[in-house]
Structure 1
Amino acid sequence: MSEFLFEIGLEEVPARMIASAEAELARRVTTLLERERLIIAGAEVKSYSTPRRLAVLVSGVAAKQEDLAEEMLGPSAKIAYKDGVATPAAVAFAKKAGVTVEALKTVETPKGEYLAATSLKPGRTAAEVIAEALPKELAGIYWAKNMYWRPGKSERFVRPVRWMVALLDDAIVPVEFAGYTASNATYGHRVLAGPNAITLAQPVEYAATLEKAFVLADVEARRHKIRKALDHVCRTLPNTRWREDHELVDKMTHLTEWPSVIAGGFEVEYLTLPEEVLVTVMRDHQNYFAVESADCKLAPHFLAVLNTVAKPEGEAVIRHGNERVLRARFNDARFFWEFDQRVPLLERVELLKKVTFQKELGSYAAKSERVSELCKRLANLVIQRLMDLEYNALLDAASLAKTDLTSELVKEFTELQGIVGGLYARAQRFSPVTADAIYDHYLPTSMDSPIPRTVEGQILALADKADTIAGMFSLGLEPTGSKDPFALRRAANGIVKILAESKLPLTLSEIALCSASDAVKPRIIAFFAERVDFYLREARGQAYDVVKAVLAVGGDDVRDAIARAEAVTGARSSADFAAISAAFKRMKNILAQASEVKMQDVDLALLNAPEEKALAERSAVVAASVEALQDERRYDESLVEIASLRPQVDAFFDAVMVMAPEPEIRANRLALLARITGDFSRIADFSEIVVAG
């Protein structure tokens, strides 16, 4: 059993691309070894990455493929032999199979007798297979953006390749890619270790050798080091803690090879600026961690993650440089904040006419008018259903929501759109409800982010997203395959998430009907249905068959679909429920194959078997109980009631032949099955549930 190490060294790769590429390289190498019969059962695969390298270490690689015996079928016996003598066809087949003519045999097939041979394909060495196949896998790695870097060469990669390592135990595997041939030499930290190559004697030495050269190749080790360093440095700032930020920790993990942390500070006077502005400048523009006091208020400090270790005198210089840059950014933010206040939001509404939303859909002023009208329609529905909201505050928010796009602060810090509008509305004495709705109306930005806090904010967010979807669909710009240039899936995901996690009494079809023209409504409703499927599986963790069963009945009311899915998931472990699901599948198949009209009343007089009479009587009683429970959305109890039918259903199928020879009896039994499947399919189509066996 051997160990195989592969590393590809690159110019610095963007942090956002590293994690997926590391996983893909590990998957491709593993698949290659499995496909070529070179990986041993129980083999361990470990991947590594830094901004300058991707690597994978496989412990459990066979040194050589096993010989492969392959059965080959040749020409028919009639063609292969003439008067007992092998013809050229037989000779050619023997040569192809790598055997003598005498070793050929005759086998019987459905088409008659044919020649056959057992060809022994000698196994190749692991080094030979890897050297041949791995370059194709490297070229196949997906990158959001590729580049050419060698004049006259066709290869593309995320960044220029600078070295490669390929070791099978202590032997170099001559993998060739992008003009480089792999060796046993890697490189440490660009600054701390210098430009000299580092020789690896064995794959197992990889991580430890790089650590001596100031490179933590293990991603989790680097992440742990950053978090510990943040904690340690923050303890030097009395009564403070660094503000938890998983995304920034992840980003800095992929931006560094040998991370360390220093603290810096800024003048207290900057704390008069909104916290959101200060944190955005630190986080999104400088990659600094914000520091807060014990009462969660922003403190005049920041933490910076370095990709080096500086001596005390060097650390002071670095700190001073970081503070100087941050001070300049804060001064810009303060200037823009004060400058923007000279033009009230109400006056900025007119300026939106000069800001294009989409060339065929017009300006943001036109979009704001559409969103305002949509807010009115949705708000009226909500009010009719006895939910309180501040109507005028919502309309103010709708008309002002996009005005911050004309502000200098948003032009400089685009991440703050919406947030700045809410802050300006608050500073200009608009209603807190209006300000909060504007502040939140881009939410949710992902499946992990929260929905708007208020009913008004939720309606405004729905209207804004629905208007974008309706407009793009009207132009034929809906998402196709993996392409979604206008982020319409994200917008639809946001609509689904708001309806799922709020108390708004709205359905997806109502949002589509209020926002879109008749020509595109069906397509938008179908698009929403896809997003409900995605939400149930990805955000709620529901099994695919449960989602399919629930959405077969309907997913227009998102919260209702969630409740039904959770009830089915809770009940599916029951043996009675599993049996009922299997029975429903059987009923559905019988009904689908029958040609008689099935949707007729059941004639009790024609039920002559005791088992069908018992099923008809018991199912009618259960149906009444289930209907009452379903009207109250007590789906868990409904499923228990439905599962209680198992004895009667089992007895029916054991004793009764549905497709009886008598037409009237057969039609009546089909009508009974149709009534049962209809009565009990309001929660889910139970025939879609996968049952063991």
Structure 2
Amino acid sequence: MPDFLFEIGLEEIPARMIAPAQMELARRVQDVLTRERLLEAGSEVHSYSTPRRLAVLVKSVAIAQSDTEELLTGPSWNIAFKNGEPTPAAQAFAKKAGVELSALQKITTPKGEYVSATAQRKGRSATEILAEQLPKELAALYWPKNMYWRPGKPERFVRPVKWLVALLDHAIVPVEFAGVRAANITYGHRILHGSESVTIEHAADYLGQLEAAHVTADVELRRHRIRKALDAAVRSVAGARWREDHPLVDTVTHLTEWPAVILGSFEPEYLTLPEEVLVMVMRDHQKYFAVEDASHKLAPYFLTVLNTQPEEHGDEIIRHGNERVLRARFNDARFFWDVDQKIPLTARVEMLKSVTFQKDLGSYHDKTAATLRIAEKLAGILSEKGARIDTGALLEATKLAKADLTAELVKEFTELQGIVGGLYARAQGLGESVAQAIYWQYSPAGIEDPIPPTAEGQLLGIADRFQTISAMFGIGLEPTGSKDPFGLRRAANGIVKILAESGLPLTLWDLTEAAPRGPATAEKIPAFFRERVEFYLRDVRGFAYDVVNAVLAAGHNDIRDAIARAEALSAVRGADDFIAIAAAFKRMKNILRQAQEKNLLQSEPNYDDSSLTDLAEINLRTRAGQVGKDFHILQRTHKYREALELIATLRPDVDQFFDKVMVMVEDEAIRNARLALILRVQRAFSSIADFSEIVTA
């Protein structure tokens, strides 16, 4: 069976967009082949990319679809045949099915007798299908930003399409997209191979022929070569190693086709600047890797990844050029650092009046005042709960948190916002607690980032984010659908992560109480945070979706408590007795819902003991009361797993109840008593989780 190669060549794609597009294109090609019955068992789908291409190579593709038979049903027999003779309806159906009239058969269905025929469907060729389907898949490929490049033409893509390759082994598949028709011609490295084309003789030769043209299309191989080259380059400095940086490795991998690494150096005098500033300049502005010594301190060296192989002695020219650029950037940083020190952070707070936070919400000075009020209230709540926190340092840090927005260093290197404020606070002797809180205020920026290491930093991060969320919701700027222009979901994720992973005894209700009260705070924000807690439990902590639903149904106000309940539920959910109890609770919930729909259930139904006379219902009432006492003791002491295991001991009594007792009987008194019994059982044992949410089959 032939191999299929598909490559789309483009002008340089932004590095951050390549990996998702590579995965999506591979998925789309595989989906087409699977849907069209062209993908054989044991077929392999491989995807490749460089800044100038996306490619998919599929091993063992069927040359054509297999022929199939399809049973077709036509008009009723009485309409198709009159007195045994075929009518025009029968003739039309036979023509449509592609069979002779004599091949028509009678079938009997629940609706009567009909004409049927077995139609032979000849399989289409892979070439025909791929030529038809792949342009549609390319047009549907998602890009964060698209562009038009042909006047008057409808297609949009991330960059102009330059070439297409589509091969079944050595045969060209006539795919056409954006005015470009597929061939067996691709292109090698722009510098090392020039404009000379590369003819792909056979789909299986793709990687090898590109390697010969100085293009490593395999992303993982390219990443491996970069890491090995970084290791080799840094060995020339005794005791040194490059500082591990996975995101930067990914970035340079997607910026290169034929990578090489050069070691450069800078004057040790720049090491007097804070390490964070130096690394940020190297990493974010120049895509350089920092080098550290054996004690993990920054060394006066850097590593740059090139997208070419320097000619003999050419590496010295490239090295000196990169050193000159970096020296200029470091000089800028040092100049801004020195200039900024002339105005202390405390004097910069007033300057925030001229820095707009949001047009309807005022300046960052206004935001600081609002955040300060929330932080003060939260500090008071923590004090009431007996938590230890340096309130003075917290309030001072909150007051100064945004002051570095007026600093020249932050204006030049915006990624250092907050970090610069912390460094300035330390340099200006404002206290380590204040400096640390300011430094870490934006952490976690992502769900993988650590939370601030100090209670003051954690509380500042919470207060700042919650002020932003409540203020934006208050003027109707909450996230909608996939749009979140103010990053409120990210802010809420940060709050949830801090509450989950810190020792702060704060609940979501505490935050709501500390913020200005309004309709948005009271209604929309709790629902918004429920979504974020659900995301954290499911996607960050990895709990099963039904466990998350069950736990959240019992409350999410205390996030660490919700985590503990989810852990306990995950531990016991596989036990047979617990599965049976969960199924029984689902049955109770359904009965109660049906009763409510029929207006047969009061919110607080009367419990008439005298109406419960069946032994099964008496046993359930008695055992539920006995178990309930111990259950609530375990629950109050947060021994959730033991509490859940205790609930499972009710299984025999619950099973007997549903085996022997009919709840929805005609007698109103008996029905009400039984409804009240299962309602109270359900309520009594659903404070840890709503067990009816657990999938039991």
Tell me the TM-score range normalised by the shorter chain.
Answer: over 0.9
Tell me the residue number matched to 1:232. Answer: 232
Q: 2:677 maps to which residue?
A: 672
Q: Distance in 1 between matches of 2:482 and 2:77?
A: 52
8 Å Cα contact 1:233/1:261 also seen in 2: yes
- Are the counterparts in 1 of residues 447 and 494 from structure 2 also a CA contact under 8 Å? yes
SS of the equivalent of 1:520 reads: helix
1:469 matched to 2:474? The reply is no
Which is worse superposed, 251-260 or 502-511? 502-511
Deviations 1:404-428 (A, max 9, x none): 1111111110000011111111111
Q: 1:307 & 1:164 partners in 2: Cα distance?
A: 23
Alignment partner of 1:41: what SS? strand
Alpha-carbon offset, residue 63 of structure 1? 0.7
Which position in structure 1 is the counterpart of 2:16?
16
Superposed CA deviations along residues 9-34 of structure 1, whole A, max 9, x for unmatched, are 11111110000000000000011111
Report the alpha carbon displacement of residue 387 of structure 1 after superposing the two structures with TM: 0.8
CA distance in 2, matches of 1:351, 1:264: 40
Q: For structure 1, which segment, 539-548 or 97-106, has the greater mean C-alpha deviation from structure 2 after superposition? A: 97-106
CA distance in 1: counterparts of 2:616 and 2:89, whole angstroms = 68
Of 334-343 and 477-486, deviating more is 477-486
Shift of 1:241: 1.4
1:118, distance to aligned residue in structure 2 (A): 2.9
SS of the residue aligned with 1:63? coil
Query: Partner letter of residue 257 of structure 1?
Result: E
1:496 partner amino acid: V
Q: Deviations over 1:568-603 (max 9, x none)?
A: 111112111111111111121122223244744655
1:210 matched residue in structure 2 = 210
Cα distance in 2 for residues equivalent to 1:454 and 1:253 = 36
Read off the aligned partner of 1:321 and give its amino acid letter.
G
CA distance in 1, matches of 2:449, 2:322: 30
State the one-letter code of the partner of 2:551. Answer: V
Paired with 2:381 and 2:120, the residues of 1 have a C-alpha distance of 75
Q: Which stretch of structure 1 is more off in the superposition, 350-359 or 645-654?
A: 645-654
The answer on whether the counterparts of 2:441 and 2:457 sit within 8 Å (CA) in structure 1 is: yes
Task: Compare 558-567 and 194-203 and name the one that shifted more.
Answer: 194-203
- 1:588-619 deviations in Å (ceiling 9; x for gaps): 11222232447446555544333333322222
Instruction: State how 1:247-262 maps to structure 2 within 5 Å.
Output: 247-262=247-262
| Whole-Å separation in 1 of the counterparts to 2:672 and 2:474 | 47
The 8 Å contact of residues 9 and 54 in structure 1, kept in 2 or not, is answered as yes
1:2 & 1:575 partners in 2: Cα distance? Answer: 51
What is aligned with 2:359? Answer: 359
What secondary structure sits across from 1:399 in the alignment?
Answer: helix
1:650 matched to 2:651? The reply is no
SS of the residue aligned with 2:58?
strand
Within 5 A, what are the aligned runs for 1:318-333? Answer: 318-333=318-333
The whole-number CA distance in structure 1 between the counterparts of 2:620 and 2:82 is 71
Secondary structure, counterpart of 1:255 in structure 2: coil
User: Does the alignment pair 1:572 with 2:573?
Assistant: yes
Task: Name the structure 1 match of 2:624.
Answer: 619
Hey, what's the Cα distance between the residues in 1 that align with 2:324 and 2:603? 80
**1:634 aligns to 2:635 (yes or no):** no
Q: Percent identity?
A: 61
Contact 2:65 2:126 in 1 (8 A): yes
Aligned match of 2:615: 610
Report the secondary structure of 2:482's partner residue.
coil
What is the CA–CA distance in structure 2 between the aligned matches of 1:97 and 1:478, rounded to whole Å? 56
TM alignment of 1:143-542, pairs within 5 A: 143-521=143-521, 522-542=523-543
Contact 2:381/2:510 (8 A) holds in 1 = no
Distance 1:43 1:686 in 2: 43
C-alpha separation in 2, matches of 1:117 and 1:234: 75
**Following the alignment from structure 1 to structure 2, what is the Cα–Cα distance between the partners of residues 467 and 623?**
41
1:242–1:292 CA contact under 8 A, matched in 2:
yes
Aligned-partner Cα distance in 2 for 1:144–1:25: 15
1:113, distance to aligned residue in structure 2 (A) = 3.6
Residues in 2 aligned to 1:133 and 1:645: alpha-carbon distance in whole angstroms: 58
Between stretches 202-211 and 597-606, larger displacement belongs to 597-606
1:108 deviation in Å? 3.6
In the alignment, is the contact (CA less than 8 A) between 2:474 and 2:518 conserved in 1?
no
Q: Which moved more, 1:187-196 or 1:23-32?
A: 187-196
Deviation at residue 493 of structure 1 after TM alignment: 0.7
Distance in 1, Cα, partners of 2:157 & 2:668: 70
Asked if 2 retains the 8 angstrom alpha-carbon contact of 1:591 and 1:598, the reply is no
Is this contact kept in 2: 1:509–1:556, CA < 8 A?
yes
CA contact (8 A) 1:422 1:438 kept: yes
Deviation at 1:188, TM superposition (A): 1.6
Greater mean deviation of Cα atoms: 622-631 or 644-653:
644-653
Q: CA deviation digits over 1:495-553, x for unaligned, max 9?
A: 11111111112212332343254221211110000011111111000111111111111
In structure 2, give the amino acid aligned to 1:48: Y
Post-superposition offset of 1:217: 1.1
Q: Distance in 2 between matches of 1:504 and 1:244?
A: 32
Judge which range, 630-639 or 666-675, deviates more.
666-675
- Extract unaligned runs of 5+ from structure 2: none
Q: Which moved more, 1:636-645 or 1:13-22?
A: 636-645
Give the partner amino acid of 2:650.
L
Pair 1:601–1:626, CA change in 2 (3 A): farther
Post-superposition offset of 1:359: 0.8
For residue 410 of structure 1, what is the amino acid of its counterpart? V
Tell me the distance in 1 between the aligned counterparts of 2:480 and 2:387. 37
CA distance in 2, matches of 1:624, 1:299: 64
Q: Would you say the 8 A contact 1:598–1:671 is kept in 2?
A: no
CA-CA distance at 1:662 after TM superposition: 4.0
How far apart are residue 109 of structure 1 and its match?
4.0
Code of the residue aligned with 1:567 in structure 2: it is A
Matching residue's letter, 1:555: H
Confirm or deny: 8 A CA contact 1:599 1:675 kept in the other structure: no
Worse-matched range after superposition: 189-198 or 289-298:
189-198
Q: Which amino acid aligns with 1:407?
A: A
Aligned partners of 1:211, 1:578: CA distance in 2, in Å?
Answer: 57
What is the CA–CA distance in structure 2 between the aligned matches of 1:232 and 1:377, rounded to whole Å? 55
Q: Is the 8 A contact 2:640 2:688 kept in 1?
A: yes
| Partner deviation per Cα, 1:203-241 (whole Å, 9 max, x = no partner) | 222222222222211111111111111122222111111
Moved more, 216-225 or 602-611: 602-611
When the two structures are superposed, what TM-score results if normalisation uses the length of structure 2? 0.96
Secondary structure of residue in 1 paired with 2:66: coil
Distance 2:670 2:525 in 1: 45
- For 1:611, the aligned partner's letter is A
2:254 aligns to what SS in structure 1?
A: helix
Alignment of 1:536-551 (within 5 A): 536-551=537-552
Counterpart residue type for residue 677 of structure 2: L
Which whole-Å CA distance do the structure 1 matches of 2:510 and 2:101 have between them? Answer: 76
